[in-house]
Amino acid sequence: MILKGHAVLVTGAAKRVGRVIALELAKRGARVAVHYRESAAEAERTAAGIRALGTEAITVRADLTREDEVAAMVGGVVARLGSLDGLVNNAAVFFRTPFATVTADDWDRTLDPNLKGVFLCCVHAGRRMQEQASGGVIVNIADWAGLRPYAGYLPYCVSKAGVIALTQGLARALAPKVRVNAVAPGPVLVPSDLPEAEAREIMEKTPLKRHGSPEDVAAAVAFLMEGSDYMTGVILPVDGGRLIA
């Protein structure tokens, strides 16, 4: 799929990695629906940045854990942009949950947006794409921790492992009209509350000896969308080599 002229929905696109992904797809000519839940002002700034690149942008609000809101969002994107050709499931939460104090509420607060939300978006967008003659492409943002869990973030790691399994299952369920792949970033944006010594340790354990950037993730997303039409069910690590370290 060539992105130019096609309509793509990016969840969690108001800021951070989602914003960079949305802008990268816009640079390639995509018309972008910028999803947000609470960051309305930031979403409008992202949309303005996209329009400055010479392409169309709209903002859409939804709580991705609510199926009625996801269905309304997908229908709204189709109504306003005329189609839905691509979906990037980027929205997620990330917070520390030490095993000694982790609760069922922590589990729900993580799994609901990180996995249930991705599932709902894929179901509603995927069905729309199957109805289109041109099909569509879905890219999910997973995490290398979904393949190699790390300590202190058990619900998060499980949620991303679920995204990986969901990606591969949907790649079979939605074939041949819809391709479904995932990007599995490694250390890209270091949490603001991470101690400096721990951040250095992560970098030292990464074979490329540096942290990645949101632009690295965005480039991988763009490749999975338009680089090859013969890739589905792929989990693409963008991790500086952490998985082989």
Annotated catalytic residues are: 156
Total residues found in the chain within this entry: 245
User: Cβ(34)–Cβ(4) under 8 Å?
Assistant: no
Q: Determine the Cα–Cα distance for residues 209 and 232; give it in Å rounded to an integer.
A: 30
Phi-psi region of 54 (alpha: psi -120 to 50; beta: other; left: phi over 0): left
Contact 24, 88 (CB under 8 A): no
Burial 46-71 (b: 16+ CB within 10 A, else e): bbebbeeeebbbbbbbbebbeeebbb
Query: In which order are the strands placed within the sheet that holds 136-141?
Result: 57-61, 31-36, 7-10, 86-89, 136-141, 178-185, 235-238
CA atoms within 13 A on the CB side of 85: 19
Return the amino acid letter for 9.
L
